Homo-oligomer: A and B are copies of this chain.
Amino acid sequence: MQTQLSCIIFVCMRNTVAKQAILEILYKSETALSQTEVQQILPQGFCNRVTIYRVLDRLVKENLIHEITNIDGVVKYANCKKCNKNHSHQHLHFSCENCNTVTCIKSVEPQFDLPKEYEIKKINFMVSGICPSCSR
């Protein structure tokens, strides 16, 4: 099974209305979105909030989106449009205290060396402050 949606091709997971809608929202969004924010964008009563959580989980597993834990602890999701193929997600994320948006800064990948005894599975590089639009 293989289905085409606006920007990308995906396989494996069932192609439900909820999945299509949520994926489309994330691919159109310039910023990372939380479950709550996705729900606010979806038409009222479109689907249950648990469904949104579950769809987001599956999209992560399929490497179509990635998870970012914001500095306030809330998880946000961003599309993998310009992410590296290896899905390390080492790029920086900026969280604006003012407008409360989280943005992927895919051009900035902080470099570091960790002793090889550490087995790295996930990276979450988060910087918060005031974003360019809010600071002018």
Residues of A bordering B, CB below 8 Å: 69-75, 92, 94, 97, 105, 108-115, 117-132, 135-136
Contacts and interface: CB of A to CB of B under 8 A. Distances in A.
Contact of A127 (B124, B127, B132): B124
B128 A121 contact: yes
Given A69-B126, A119-B135, A124-B124, 10 more contacts: A69-B69, A71-B122, A108-B114, A117-B132, A117-B135, A117-B136, A118-B130, A121-B128, A124-B126, A124-B127
A135 to B, nearest CB: 5
A99 to B, nearest CB: 13
A127 B120 contact: yes
Nearest to A73: B73
15 contacts: A69-B71, A92-B114, A94-B114, A97-B121, A110-B112, A114-B127, A115-B132, A117-B135, A118-B130, A118-B131, A119-B130, A121-B128, A122-B129, A123-B127, A126-B126
B105 A114 contact: yes
Given A69-B72, A75-B73, A113-B108, A121 B132 contact: no
Contacts of A125: 110, 124-126
